[in-house]
Amino acid sequence: MRRATLIVNPYSSAVDARRIAAVEEALRTQVELTTELTQAPGHATELAAGAAEVADAVIVLGGDGTYNEVVNGLDARTPVGFLPGGGTSVLPRALGMPRDAVGAARAVAGALAAGRRRQVALGRVNGRRFAFSAGLGLDAEVVRRIDTRGRTDDGKRPGDLAFAATVLRLFAEARLRLDPVLEIEDVGRGAFLLVANGSPYTFVGPVPLRLVEGVRFEGGLGYVAPSAVRPAVLPRLVARALRGRLGDDPLVHAATDVDRISIRADRPLPLQVDGEDLGDVEEAVFEAERDALTVLV
């Protein structure tokens, strides 16, 4: 029987003692299991690096921030499985895993036992890996504002409605106008930048938002960057974004399957990876790491 370490963030939105126990039971049908609970930000990276030395696989129960920490502690030698335990859990859903954590645990255990694996790429920006998305400017500011709202008494983060309301508030504050504030090397000026390592970019409830089209986990990075946003064109941009065709707009810079995107901003702008705020930067280099991770599917 294969050995696996289950890394659990007990403060993720959809994680509690009952769910942890049910996931452990499902995994132990085919896996010799050790469970580790995260205790602080960054702890999942340490746990993943340690587990890679003693286990045949690492399995993660948490949200997208926990997945991000884990992929920053692993290399392609150690297979990893992702179980949905967050409010959105973009990564396992984008990889085709069941939305139910117990069902996903059964699938991951079966994949480990049968040797079913998938080699995927990761992104990296300024030294930090990301699994599915990163952004400079608008969406990173949304992440920051959500973080300032704090969490509930049981550690849960605000949900999708709070994110949507924050986006609308930002556009209202800007009076539906976003000026070009960054320079994309060899491309041109942009108002903000969305970078994807896979598709969809995120979800709103059950609805996938494919803001950056044509991106595959096995390939390079994709990006979209509106050159500017004005009240007259905002409805059109929103409509195209909802249809997954934002990159088709003549006012939007877009590319797919690229290995490097270099950005210089006019002023410090917020940067996010997988929904985690990395602070303000004036320069950012996004790079694709192909075949960087082995995923249990």
In a domain, 297, yes or no: no
Pairing of strands 260-273, 188-190: unpaired
In a domain, 294, yes or no: no
Residues 74 and 189 in one domain: no
Which CATH number fits the domain that encloses residue 76? 3.40.50.10330
> What number of CA atoms fall less than 13 Å from residue 176's CA on the CB side?
9
Residues 139 and 107 in one domain: no
Using alpha carbons only, what angle is made at residue 176 by residues 174 and 180, rounded to the nearest 5 degrees?
75
Give CA–CA dist 24/34, Å, rounded: 9
In a domain, 279, yes or no: yes
**The pLDDT value given to residue 152:** 58
Total domain count, the chain: 2
Which CATH number fits the domain that encloses residue 137? 2.60.200.40
In a domain, 296, yes or no: no
Residues 215 and 155 in one domain: yes
User: Strand pairing partners for 61?
Assistant: 8, 83
In a domain, 31, yes or no: yes
pTM > 0.85: yes or no: yes
**The pLDDT value given to residue 155:** 53
Q: How confident is the model at residue 43 (pLDDT cuts 50, 70, 90)?
A: very high
Question: What range defines the domain where residue 66 resides?
Answer: 2-115
- Indicate the residue among 56, 83, 115 that finishes a domain: 115
Q: Answer whether residue 60 shows pLDDT above 90.
A: yes
Average confidence score pLDDT of the chain: 93
Q: Answer whether residue 25 shows pLDDT above 70.
A: yes
Residues 133 and 217 in one domain: yes
In a domain, 121, yes or no: no
Residue 143 CB: number of other CB atoms within 10 A? 20
Q: Are 296 and 163 in contact (CB under 8 A)?
A: no
Residues 241 and 273 in one domain: yes
In a domain, 103, yes or no: yes
Residues 30 and 72 in one domain: yes
Q: Are 9 and 44 in contact (CB under 8 A)?
A: yes
Among 201, 145, 210, smallest CA distance to 171 is for 145
Tens-place pLDDT, residues 83-140 = 999 989 999 999 999 999 999 999 999 999 999 999 999 999 999 999 999 999 999 9
- Indicate the residue among 87, 115, 143 that finishes a domain: 115
**The pLDDT value given to residue 108:** 98
Residues 155 and 51 in one domain: no
Give CA–CA dist 88/207, Å, rounded: 11
**The pLDDT value given to residue 167:** 75
In a domain, 123, yes or no: no
- Indicate the residue among 93, 115, 137 that finishes a domain: 115
